[in-house]
Amino acid sequence: MLKLGIIGTGQISHEFIKAAKLSGHYELQAVYSRSLATAQTFAQDYQNVELFCDLTDFLNCALDVVYIASPNSLHFELAKQVILAGKHAIIEKPAVSLPEEWKELVALSKQEEVYIFEAARNYHEEAFATIQGFLKDKTVWGAHFTYAKYSSKMQALLSGKEPNVFSAKFSGGALMDLGVYPVYAAIRLFGSPQSARYSAQQLPNTVDLNGVGALIYPGFQVGIQAGKNINSNLPAEIYTDQGTLTLDGIEFISSAIFHGLDGQETILPIQQASHTMEEEAKAFATVLLGKDRTAYEEWLKSASAVHQTLWTMRKDAGIRFEVDYD
């Protein structure tokens, strides 16, 4: 069993713990928060968990891997400390604010001989392998991927506050928080785009509330939509020379139906996992336990492409974070 440590006490950490337990490969060992009271509240439903409010002490305890789910802009420095402590790191998406930060983490992890993973859950769904296989004998002519969900922090924003998810200090906004999913889906299926565009409804701090963009590939484009002040129920679509493949979303996919130009309908054999993060937890454990590491380098390359694409889209829209250097 992999001894798991948690940095970040939001709901997403509870969800990863659930998925880790379902995978059968992890045992929750320790939780870190800047406030011991916060750590105690977070861990009240778990048994035999060590609690820390000192990061050095936390990293000195017997852990194999640390899941990091702090505010976005804090991921990079925390991940460096985890790596330098000789622990493997699972970093909630977006793992970094800048593509250069990801490159530095990759280099540092190789130097310290540990693994790093970006927890972009949809990338590891078996559904994408099924979809990719189905598309092999078809020419892709385009696609449209959407992820827009009204944020629980919108009321705070509307009342004049600046929640972390809408903060330039913490690298927030729709593109980074939710747009990362359709970007990951596109790169998982089609590889790195040649270029990317993005236009957004923005706050005075330039952080985006929602936006639309495009990833440009040779011969086709992938439309991207993201939003945190709107809800969207749109399906995802992939257009080909033989018809249109319709998915019920771009993450936690449960349905994929191909409507051929000849009028025929094909239902793809999609098996949805029991939890949205279960497949990524299993994939990470497979590498960490030494069972299969063949895909790991490809994961790193995909993450690098995603962060370069997000950076290009941010620049196009004029979204600036405090960590930006130009």
Q: Any residues with CB less than 8 A from the CB of 122 and at least 6 apart, and which? A: 128, 181, 184, 185, 188, 250, 251, 252, 253
List C-alpha distances in Å: 144 to 75, 167, 314.
29, 28, 19
- Residues 71 and 163: beta-carbon distance below 8 Å: no
**Final residue in a domain of this structure, among 77, 105, 122:** 122
Q: How far apart are the first and last CA of the chain?
A: 44
pTM: 0.97
**Final residue in a domain of this structure, among 92, 122, 152:** 122
Query: Do 111 and 133 lie in a common domain?
Result: no
Would you give the distance in Å from CA 114 to the centre of its chain?
Answer: 20
Query: Do 89 and 139 lie in a common domain?
Result: no
**Final residue in a domain of this structure, among 102, 122, 142:** 122
Q: Which residues pair with 217 in a beta bridge?
A: 220
- Residues 250 and 144: beta-carbon distance below 8 Å: no
pLDDT at 325: 77
Task: Determine the structural domain holding residue 283 and report its residue range.
Answer: 126-317
Say how far apart CA 21 and CA 24 lie, in whole Å.
5
Per-residue pLDDT in tens (0 to 9) along the chain, 326 residues: 999 999 999 999 999 999 999 999 999 999 999 999 999 999 999 999 999 999 999 999 999 999 999 999 999 999 999 999 999 999 999 999 999 999 999 999 999 999 999 999 999 999 999 999 999 999 999 999 999 999 999 999 999 999 999 999 999 999 999 999 999 999 999 999 999 999 999 999 999 999 999 999 999 999 999 999 999 999 999 999 999 999 999 999 999 999 999 999 999 999 999 999 999 999 999 999 998 888 999 999 999 999 999 999 999 999 999 999 75
Q: Is residue 32 part of a domain?
A: yes
pLDDT at 89: 98
- Please list the alpha-helical segments (H only) found in the chain: 11-23, 36-42, 55-60, 75-84, 99-112, 126-135, 154-158, 174, 180-190, 278-288, 296-317
Query: Do 179 and 288 lie in a common domain?
Result: yes
List C-alpha distances in Å: 71 to 32, 201, 235, 245.
14, 22, 29, 35
Residue 109, Cβ neighbours under 10 Å: how many? 21
Strand order in the sheet with 265-267: 195-202, 208-217, 220-227, 140-148, 236-240, 243-247, 256-260, 265-267
Query: Do 239 and 202 lie in a common domain?
Result: yes
CATH code, 231:
3.30.360.10
